[in-house]
Amino acid sequence: MGSLGYLVRRPNGRYSVRFQKADGRWTLESLGTSKAAEAKTKFELWKQEQLKKRFAGLHDVSPVKLKQLAGDHLVNVRRHQAQSWWEKQRHYIYRSDKDRPGSPKKILEWFGESRLSTDITANEIRDYIGYLRDRGLKAVTCNKILSCLKAMFRFAEERGYVVDAASPARRVKLLKSDSEVHDAFLTYEEYERLKTKAKGKRPGARSTLFGNRLEWLMLACNSGLRPGEQAMLEFSDVDLVHGFIHVQAKPDLGFHIKNYQDRYIPLPPEARAAISSMLAHRKPSRLAMEGGRRTDVDFVFHRPDGSAWGDLAKSMERLFESAGLNGESTRRRDRITLHSLRHTFASWLSIAGVPLRRIQELLGHKSIVTTERYSHLGANGQTPFYSELAKAVSKSFVITGVITPSSHHEANSLEVIEEFGGGAATRTPDLGIMRPSL
């Protein structure tokens, strides 16, 4: 390889590095010391830095400062992923006015905005996670921050800011999770009690308050939609004629599905009734978006101006409390939340004996392991409502595979799901019926 440079002592007794620049000229770089031992240590560090630069050059890497990497990464996240994930990552990376004074350092505060992307090591990342744990953060929170770092450095690999497949975050393992599993779900009796409460007029309700809690409850418990998916559901996603909901990404609205998996969900009677009821409140609108552009929307659940509702958790929690749920003695893991309505749908299906693989498809889980949390409930109930719900979602067929407009003619080759109770489906679906219609 040859010498990268020379450690030399200048006439004034101070040590420097003499090395040849890329243009062939020789130059001196001071090490800032007159002590031999310190100079040797600094010279070793200098050589390591030169080797890093040479290694990066061999792999066509162009390092950038962490501030630029973070900014570029967040732009990419906002363009291709869910708004909620972008907000969380921004919160992990930058300090804002909302952060309490003295709260743990953010990513850029810890590593330094001016550090180069190639300078960060796996041990530094481990030290940061250890610091967060020492400051009292739970392992599940530390894992979210670590996931943000991993995502940021995966993006750096794609852009050539670090060596491909060799980013430091790859070598840092997630901590063992200490999160509580929230498996609480509604019984049929509690569901009926909530429906009765939701029908009543809210005291002092204004037009700007969420007034469709009954329909939200009925749809969520009978479709398994995630709260974000239900909030962004439009009438164009619903086929009432053939009884399906199409859950799909909406990049123009900044909405992306978790795991990037489009899916079709059959409409049981209660879910169909909820959407039919919302037709009376239908209000197509044209929303102003970033950059001055406008887009047409037709949300099932919407504000008075036609825009989508924000976080409805508090509104629904007040409904739960009014029905006698979530008392003061209720443990945190046993509390009914907005997301518990999705658990309710899955739990009812499992109790009725629906196969876990089918439940996985309906919920949009990436792995069957996630769905196995419901396995202990299997075939443990005789409530007729559960059986009717299971029958409604299990006898319908679901298209598997990625469907694009250009692949319409390939519909006859798509696989279909077996009917509940045995026997394969006897007809191949025509994609024409899956196009939204009302």
Q: Compare 195 and 382 and report the one with higher pLDDT.
A: 195
Per residue in 156-182, pLDDT tens? 988 989 887 778 999 999 998 877 777
Instruction: Choose among 306, 271, 303: nearest CA to 287.
Output: 306
Q: What is the pLDDT of residue 205?
A: 53
pLDDT single digits (tens) 204-249? 555 567 889 999 999 999 999 999 999 999 999 999 998 999 999 8
Per-residue pLDDT at 346 exceeds 90: yes
The dihedral through the CA atoms of 304, 310, 316, 317 has a sign that is: negative
Nearest-angstrom CA–CA distance, 308 and 400: 29
Q: How much is the pTM?
A: 0.65
66-171 and 188-434 have identical folds = no
264-275 in b/e form (b: 16+ CB < 10 A) is: bbbbbebbbbbb
Between 53-57, 78-82, 100-104, 304-308, the lowest mean confidence (pLDDT) is in: 53-57
Q: Which of 69-83, 105-119, 360-374, 412-426 has the highest mean pLDDT?
A: 105-119
Domain boundaries, the chain: 6-58, 66-171, 188-434
What pLDDT, in 10s, does the model give residues 373-416? 888 787 666 678 888 888 888 755 444 333 333 333 333 433 33
Give the residue with greater pLDDT, 212 vs 260.
212
> Does the 188-434 domain belong in CATH 1.10.443.10?
yes
Whether 1 has a pLDDT exceeding 80, the answer reads no
Q: Which helix (H) or strand (E) holds 276?
A: helix 269-278
Q: What is the CATH number of domain 66-171?
A: 1.10.150
Confirm if 232 and 255 have CB atoms less than 8 A apart: yes
CA distances from 187 to 11, 74, 252, 350, 388 (A): 86, 42, 38, 13, 15
Tell me the mean pLDDT in the region 300-316: 89
User: What are the angstrom distances between the C-alpha of 229 and each of 92, 256, 389?
Assistant: 24, 9, 20
Is the distance from CB of 225 to CB of 245 less than 8 angstroms?
A: yes
Q: Does 371 or 254 have the greater pLDDT score?
A: 371
**Does the pLDDT value for residue 146 go beyond 60?**
yes
124-148 burial, b at 16+ Cβ within 10 Å, e below that, comes to ebeebbeebeeeebebebbbbbbbb
Tens of pLDDT, residue by residue over 57-75, are 555 678 899 999 999 999 9
Residue type, 316: M
Q: What is the largest CA-CA distance in the chain?
A: 95
